[in-house]
Amino acid sequence: MRKDAKIYIAGHRGLAGSAIVRQLRSQGYVNIITRTSAELDLRCQAAVDAFFRAFRPEYVFLAAAKVGGIWANNRYPAEFIYDNLAIATNVIHAAHCYGVKKLLFLGSSCIYPKYASQPLKEEYLLTGELEPTNEWYAVAKIAGIKLCQAYRRQYDANFIAVMPANLYGINDNFDLETAHVLPALLRKFHEAKAAGMSAVTVWGSGKARREFLYVDDLAEACCFLMQNYDGEEIINVGTGTDITIRELAELIREIVGFNGDIIYDRTKPDGTFQKLLDVTKINRLGWQAKIGLREGIEKTYRWFKDCLS
């Protein structure tokens, strides 16, 4: 990408999109196009078409999505499948119609089969049943990946799809009803410490394992892949290591400085037992994650506290 190329980041105020904007600016890109959801409803085909026709972006990072944890996916299945299908369909089709040189679509590690072997290789997608607690989101994201592949096969479009591990970091969602596990735990422990509570309750058994990727590492990887990867197949982006939810909770308790107990509510679901990505492919291309979990959580917690002050 030229430094003055017109680059559109869909979802620039979200966790991943905002990090991609920061990364592009740090690398000297000067023609970054963004629109808020109030300015451009990506679920509306006519609006998306008019936007692409007017601005003609050369490169697109498709980071816009409706996302959430287990509770949100179970509570709003229609919104999760409709919104994400509409966003992917409209943006990818418009990118084709208006000559976008390259598009990067963000998938997710949670859309791999529930019982796939670990670590998760790219070729495992669609080889088994999905995790029921997020199948609506997963179906829509898989459709987005297949759209990229279909437009590539039929029209030779250079559309790629990446599969990040569980993301966290600056601009994360800390709403306890819709947040993913890491920011939800940060907020729970912070509020418990402030209120002088004796214990914090965590959903599930604590035995499930998760891989966490600091969002600025993802943004660097996305920019790297825009320059260095043109394949049809999806590509994993992660750290290659994971921890149990129990270990995560204990680490966050230590970072926050909460001295109470942790109670595990086994009546609540664990979700998929493990989601560890095989990152051999991207490592061979020359990219590796740089920010360790403790460092990333400490950065995220400082940002969270700054937002409260």
Q: Binding site for NADP(+): residue ranges?
A: 11-17, 106-109, 141, 164-167, 180
Strand, helix or coil at 204?
Answer: coil
Spatial CA neighbour of 45 closest among 8, 93, 9: 93
Cβ-based burial of 178 (10 A; exposed 0-12, middle 13-18, buried ≥19) = middle
Interatomic CA distance for residues 36 and 41, integer angstroms: 8
Helices (H) and strands (E) in the chain, counts: 10, 13
Q: Binding site: residue ranges?
A: 11-17, 106-109, 141, 164-167, 180, 188, 203, 210, 270
**Residue 137 designated active-site:** yes
DSSP secondary structure letter of residue 104: E
Q: How crowded is the C-beta side of 87, counted as CA atoms within 13 Å?
A: 27
Spatial CA neighbour of 299 closest among 165, 189, 177, 186: 186
- Determine the straight-line distance between the first and last CA of the chain, rounded to whole angstroms: 39
Q: Binding site for substrate: residue ranges?
A: 188, 203, 210, 270
Structure tokens at 100: 């976008």
Of the residues 137, 151, 229, 301, only one is catalytic, namely: 137
Interatomic CA distance for residues 164 and 221, integer angstroms: 10
Residues with active-site annotation: 137
